[in-house]
Amino acid sequence: MSAANPYVGAYPWLDGRRGVWREIVRVVHRDARDAATVIELGAGYCDFINQFPAPRRLAFDLNPDMARFSAPGVELRIEDCTRLPGIADASVDLVFASNFLEHFDRAGIDALLGGVRRALRPRGRLILLQPNHRRCAAHYFDDPTHVTIFDDRNIGGFLAPHGLRVVKVVPGLLPFSMKSRLPKWPLLVRLYLASPVRPMAAQMYVVAERE
C-alpha cells in the first residue's frame, strides 16, 4: 500500500475524492450556515467532516483504521453511532450522513433516528445523501449490505415519526457512485451540482429539521 493510494479494507481510495467532497461541503454548508457543532455518521475517510467549517466537529465510524485520516480538531469516535452515545441532549446543530441509512433494518433506523432527534437542538438539522431507489433500482442492491429501500417519496415517512420534518429534497444531486465516469475536477463538480440537469444523478439530498 503506497502513501498515494491509502486503501483501507473495504474502503477503496478514489483519486479526486477530497476535491469532490469539498464541493459537497459547500452545498451542505448553505443549508446549515450557523452550525457550530456538527456530527458525521459513518465518516470513513473523513472527507466531509475534515472540510466542514464548524467550531466543533465530531465523527463516528466503526473502522479503527480511519483514525489516521481525521484532521486535527476532529473528534473521531470509533464506536457504534446508534443512539449517539456520549452526545448530550439538544447539543448538536447538524448531523450529516452519506450512503448510510440504507445499511440498517427498520429497527436500526428507528434507534438511530431516535438518537439523532435527541442530540439535535430545536431546529437543528439532519442532512442526508442517500441512493434514490427510484433512480437506481437496477444497482441499488449491488452492495449486498444495503438492507432498506429509500427514495425521495418515502424518506419523510421514516423521519417524521422521530420529529424530523423534511424541508428539502433534491431527488438527484449526485451519481449513484463516486466511481462514475463523470469528471471529478472540483470546478466541473461545482458546475454539475449547480446545474438543473445532472446526468446520472441517482443520489438524493435530504434536509430535515428537528421540530
DSSP, residue by residue, 180-194: SSS---HHHHHHHHH
Question: Which H, E and C letters describe 78-102, residue by residue?
Answer: CCCCCCCCCCCCCCEEEEEEECCHH
Fold of 17-210: Rossmann fold (3.40.50)
Q: How far apart are CA 23 and CA 49, in angstroms?
A: 13
Query: pLDDT tens track of the chain, all 211 residues?
Result: 233 334 444 455 555 788 899 999 999 999 999 999 999 999 999 999 999 999 999 999 999 999 999 999 999 999 999 999 999 999 999 999 999 999 999 999 999 999 999 999 999 999 999 999 999 999 999 999 999 999 999 999 999 999 999 999 999 999 977 655 555 678 888 998 999 999 999 999 999 999 9
CA proximity to 47, closest of 81, 80, 11, 82: 11
DSSP letter at 103 equals G
Torsional sign, CA 68, 74, 75, 77:
negative
Q: How far apart are CA 173 and CA 200, in angstroms?
A: 9
Note the helical H segments in 15-81: 17-30
Torsional sign, CA 147, 206, 75, 124:
negative
Q: How far apart are CA 207 and CA 130, in angstroms?
A: 11
The pTM of the full predicted model, rounded to 2 decimals, is: 0.91
Q: How far apart are CA 62 and CA 11, in angstroms?
A: 12
